[in-house]
Structure 1
Amino acid sequence: MALPYGYVKAKIATAPQLKSTRRPHEVQYHLHFGITVDGAQWDIAVNVGTTDADDLLKYKLVFDFNHAALPTLANAAEGSTDLTGTAVLPAIDFQRSDFLANTGAWRNSDVMDGSSQVEPVASLERILLRAQQSALDVYVFGRFFSEGGGMHDVHMNQGSTGGFIHRAGDDANDHNDIWQDGALLVDLGDPEWALYVAAFDKQYVPTDDLGNPAQDARPMS
């Protein structure tokens, strides 16, 4: 089964803050910021990197993003939009759509050290602060929190191994899936949009119909 997925369109209510989460073999870092959805404050957690040099984040930060799906987003009402089970844009799939066409090569994130001077933290933080100060529309694609208001998994959500393997009919874990990739977009004013997308080195492509690594898959790195 598919996990709850979609996007939210909102203005930023609280400035981004870098926070860490300890995992078994690394520390993962996210930029957290608050948005207001239907009168309630939501927490947004955007992946920006890890302390593990063998499992860095691949990312794209595009300041002149253009795609046929943008008018649909621009005309959407503010608030959350559920895209669970949707297999067409504006649901995002890095492998099965042209969403990332003409966006250039993936870049390697810096090894995170807890500071906001490393990339992509520094650049993304500047964009988010600009969006907050200028009341720009921000669009976050990812998975909805199971409890409370918020979104996480703002990165590629397929091609992982181990505990993320998707077994049909089992939603007991935070599993792979197709048409559930995360992204962050900021409408900087026509015709400028900024796009941020990310994936981990140890995610594998291509993927099968469940979002698991295919037989011939290779690491993102």
Structure 2
Amino acid sequence: MPLTEYGVLVGRVRDRRREGGKNSPHYQIHVDAAGTQFRVAVNVLSALAPSELLYTADEDFTHPVLPALATLTDGFTPLTSTPGGLALDFIRGNLFDRTTLRTMPADQPGPDNDLADKLDHYIQHAVGDPAARLYAFGQRWGPETAPDKIFGFAPGNGIHDIHMNQGNTGRFTADDGVWQDGALILSFPDRWIAVFLAFQSQAWHTDDTTGHTLPGIPPADPDGHPAPGEPDRQVRIIAALVNPTGPAPEAETVTLLNTTASPIDLTGWTLLDRAQHQAPLPTLTLPAGDTVRLPIPTPLALGNQGGALTLLNAAGLKVDGVAYTTAPEGRTLTF
């Protein structure tokens, strides 16, 4: 079954602890959330082979989820696993480009060469900045009767599953679900930073209801990048006119690019907005290397203050996705 206490913890980072060894080590973060203490347990090594995690970080993160996230007060906020709100989904939420993921060893000698080093870089910055806040997405545990086993505060309290939580294999398929992925997002006075983690064993095309791996999709390469046979990035969303000049109804458009060496029949392809409203593309063939500018079909809604567009092929598999935060009037956004 999906995660049962999914949500986001907001608070001030007080301390961190690196765990070595090979028995499911974690990077531990001590968070003070308005006087209530929490431990954020971040996996840095998988219990399933291949063991090294996939990692990417965005040091200037922008996404339409941020304005609502910034309004949260310190503490744990339960989230409903549905689109259009604060819940995260690595596949459907267009949070980052999966081709930026890299495998990262958990902990090894030397500077800036393992996952603990990468997390230290951001977390220690947050420890030293009283204005910084950590937004940790995952599943809550506690409060417990015993003190916390790492930092000693009582009662024990925390959040874990700070990683992708769908497309699992083996015994972990029980945790599969959509709109329940974990992440670390840090706010500083001048920027947002986001850290995303996934297991190499997880799939990047999953069922829209269960989050289980879809059949017939070839496994990704060791860095989680699309393998030959996956549809990712065959057609790219390269631009959108979200806020045309003039009164409603506005003539919004999207521009698509065929990145392959062959023509692609777009019959049965669809577009989705941030709320996952879906509408078909016109029936046409997009020549190799060519672009096409299409009207945004109803009932899709592209908000001027932030939104998302996702492109699905005729089999319903994600091909590309983008997100934006602002749309100046009359300006075409490029992605």
Write the distance in 1 (CA, Å) between the matches of 2:20 and 2:217. 30
The equivalences for 1:98-177 within 5 A come to: 98-101=94-97, 105-110=100-105, 112-113=107-108, 118-135=113-130, 136-145=132-141, 148=144, 149-166=157-174, 175-177=175-177
Specify whether residues 177 and 105 from structure 1 end up closer, same or farther in structure 2 by C-alpha distance, changes over 3 A only.
Answer: same
> How many equivalent pairs are there?
206
Write the distance in 2 (CA, Å) between the matches of 1:90 and 1:115. 37
The equivalences for 1:193-204 within 5 A come to: 193-204=192-203
1:213 aligns to what?
Answer: 213
Specify whether residues 116 and 144 from structure 1 end up closer, same or farther in structure 2 by C-alpha distance, changes over 3 A only.
Answer: farther
- What TM-score results when the alignment is normalised by the length of structure 2? 0.56
Mark the runs of 5 or more structure 1 residues left unpaired by the alignment. Answer: 167-174
Give the C-alpha shift of residue 43 in structure 1: 0.8
Q: Considering only CA atoms, is the larger Rg found in Structure 1 or Structure 2?
A: 2
Write the distance in 2 (CA, Å) between the matches of 1:8 and 1:123. 21
- Do the aligned residues in 1 keep the contact of 2:46 with 2:199 (CA within 8 Å)? no
The equivalences for 1:31-46 within 5 A come to: 31-46=27-42
**What RMSD in Å do the two structures reach over aligned CA positions?**
2.5
1:9 aligns to what?
Answer: 10
Q: Which amino acid aligns with 1:165?
A: T
SS state of the match for residue 125, structure 1?
helix
- Do the aligned residues in 1 keep the contact of 2:108 with 2:114 (CA within 8 Å)? no
Give the C-alpha shift of residue 40 in structure 1: 2.2
1:81 aligns to what?
Answer: 77
After TM superposition, what 4+ stretches of structure 1 lie above 6 angstroms from structure 2?
none
Write the distance in 1 (CA, Å) between the matches of 2:188 and 2:109. 28
- What TM-score results when the alignment is normalised by the length of structure 1? 0.82
- More displaced stretch, 199-208 vs 210-219: 210-219
Mark the runs of 5 or more structure 2 residues left unpaired by the alignment. Answer: 145-156, 223-335
Specify whether residues 41 and 202 from structure 1 end up closer, same or farther in structure 2 by C-alpha distance, changes over 3 A only.
Answer: same
| Cα offsets for 1:102-154 (capped at 9, x unmatched) | x8611110254488853221121121111011121111001111553210010
- Do the aligned residues in 2 keep the contact of 1:201 with 1:219 (CA within 8 Å)? no
Write the distance in 1 (CA, Å) between the matches of 2:30 and 2:110. 20
Write the distance in 1 (CA, Å) between the matches of 2:20 and 2:143. 20
Write the distance in 1 (CA, Å) between the matches of 2:29 and 2:189. 21
1:172 aligns to what?
Answer: none
SS state of the match for residue 30, structure 2?
strand
Give the C-alpha shift of residue 53 in structure 1: 7.2
Q: Which amino acid aligns with 1:32?
A: Q
Give the C-alpha shift of residue 7 in structure 1: 0.2
Write the distance in 2 (CA, Å) between the matches of 1:132 and 1:42. 15
Write the distance in 1 (CA, Å) between the matches of 2:110 and 2:171. 29
Name the structure with the higher strand share: 1
2:180 aligns to what?
Answer: 180
SS state of the match for residue 123, structure 1?
helix
Q: Which amino acid aligns with 1:28?
A: S
Write the distance in 2 (CA, Å) between the matches of 1:115 and 1:162. 34
1:28 aligns with 2:17: no
SS state of the match for residue 85, structure 2?
coil
2:317 aligns to what?
Answer: none
Write the distance in 2 (CA, Å) between the matches of 1:52 and 1:153. 15
Give the C-alpha shift of residue 163 in structure 1: 0.7
Write the distance in 2 (CA, Å) between the matches of 1:8 and 1:205. 26
Query: Which one scores higher on RCO, CA 8 angstroms, separation ≥ 6?
Result: 1
SS state of the match for residue 25, structure 2?
strand
Give the C-alpha shift of residue 178 in structure 1: 1.0
